[in-house]
Chains A and B, each alone.
Chain A
Amino acid sequence: MGHNHKHQSSHAEKYVMVIDIDKCTGCGACAIACSQENNIPVRTDETDKYLSLNWLVIYRITNGEPFPKTKVAYIPRPCMHCDHPICVHVCPAMATDKDAKGVVSQIYPRCFGCRYCMAACPYHARVFNWWDPKYPEGTERGFNPDVSTRMRGVVEKCNFCNHRYQRARDKAITEGRVILKEGEYVPACVEACPTKAMYFGNIKDPESKVAKLIKSPYAFRLLEKYGTHPSVYYLSKHEWVKRQTDWYLETQNKKQSHE
């Protein structure tokens, strides 16, 4: 893996997503924008959520109080693009790797469907094509040519819309630069969010919004105890949200649990 700094922009880029749970209303526009952008198949019966193919899953948690004091929070969960990706370590086909800008890839022709990565991922971010992908008749016309469609027997997952990075970088190179400006590369989910609860950017750029947000005292990541160092941060001012997502005991406080 080459690391010549003169030719690469990747040493100066580390992409991170920040999701503000307090602003998120669970509308689902992000999930549907993701499905449209990435040619995600739909089966006629999608009620069995274990078999449903979804790259961005929205979890629902409550504060446990009785009605009418119940409060709800929605947690959109894309692939975490961990800095220590367990799925990459276990893949026997080397169908997945982590590149310099932080995105964990998934290459479909190389995957042979052993699903070891699915077992390894603690976030259940990966889904498997049990059958040939089916689309509503006629909607093949609306396919995004920048994203490969998958075949049965391969694992797929969110890739932070890497194809958008490829296009944005091409445009930047044509204009004579290698570093992308803030906002040139955003995944489809972040773009669609109506409450602007999702942020995406390069934390190596000190002026970017995400660089400032991850320093917030309300920022946390899912299942930090596993040491996966995910690239997706969440913001929430509510203790009950943090407890259920960061997962530490009632008797511990957050700092203790990470020691």
Chain B
Amino acid sequence: MVEEKKEHQKKGGWGALILGFIISFLVGWIFFGNHLAVPPLYGKLTQPVSFSHNIHVKQAEMACEDCHYLKPNGRWSGIPKLAKCIECHEEAQGETKEEAHFIKKFVETGKEIPWLIYSKQPKNVFFSHAAHLKIAGFKCRRCHGEMGYNDKPPVYVYSRLSKYSQHTVIVMERCMRCHKKFEAPNYCFTCHK
């Protein structure tokens, strides 16, 4: 009896452990990680119009505030409405395929562009651009990255389970940590409604 046991132990092998570890490690990183963003958990979509910030900022020489600004009543203007685009794009301004498609599908029909919003927050969240820009003095890049200088909009990644965008902070803990660091209030009603 004792010898049999000793023989079993001699066989040893953490093979199964390592195998299990590797499998779930890979599954975790591939299917649940943000970097690859593959189904079944993640879905990818493209914006309805391939808007190039670069063209508008460099060639059309527009400033960020032309489309994204703090309104006098304190609310953020967000993504501009079709009326803003029509100010210039009543007729084609360039020769790109994307612009032609945009004019045909949206300007001529007068339909609002159904943008997929990267930074969309849940319905019970009150996010104040005024407080973050003016009091905290943040620049846009801090939360929106290099969005303002892209050639075409990044692929919109969302979770199929919760339907929320994956490009932004969605978990309250991340907001609270930053608030703590900058000594901003962390009361519930600071951000919720």
Contact = CB atoms under 8 A, between A and B. Distances in A.
In the complex they form, whether A and B have CB atoms below 8 Å apart is answered with: yes
Interface of A: 1-4, 7-8, 10, 96-100, 103, 105, 107-109, 146-148, 159, 162-163, 166-174, 176, 178
B183 to A, nearest CB: 4
Contacts of B134: 173-174, 176
B189 interface: yes
A102 B188 CA distance: 12
Contact of B188 (A96, A146, A170): A96
B124 A2 contact: no
A7 B135 contact: yes
Given A2-B180, A147-B193, A174 B187 contact: no
B15 interface: no
A132 B47 CA distance: 35
Interface string B115-128: 00000000110101
On chain B, which size bracket covers the interface? 20 to 34
B80 interface: no
Contact of B72 (A8, A100, A162, A174): A174
B172 to A, nearest CB: 9
B154 interface: no
Given A97-B188, A173-B130, 10 more contacts: A1-B186, A2-B183, A7-B136, A99-B190, A146-B193, A169-B130, A173-B131, A174-B71, A174-B72, A174-B130
Nearest to B180: A2
A147 B184 CA distance: 23
Nearest to B179: A2
B184 A148 contact: no
A98 B187 CA distance: 7
B183 A4 contact: yes
Contacts of A159: 189
Interface of B: 70-75, 123-124, 126, 128, 130-131, 134-136, 179-180, 182-190, 192-193
Contacts of B179: 2
Contacts of B72: 171, 174
Nearest to A10: B185
B193 A170 contact: no
Nearest to A165: B189
A166 B74 CA distance: 10
Given A2-B180, A148-B123, A148-B193, A170 B187 contact: no
B74 A170 contact: yes
A3 B183 contact: yes
A187 to B, nearest CB: 14
Contacts of A8: 184-185
A108 B124 CA distance: 8
A159 B75 CA distance: 21
A172 B130 CA distance: 9
A105 B188 contact: yes
Contact of B128 (A4, A98, A148, A170): A170
Nearest to B126: A166
A10 B183 CA distance: 13
A166 B125 CA distance: 11
B189 A148 contact: no
Contacts of A96: 188
Contact of B189 (A4, A99, A167): A99
B128 A99 contact: no
A176 B192 CA distance: 23
B126 to A, nearest CB: 5
B188 A99 contact: yes
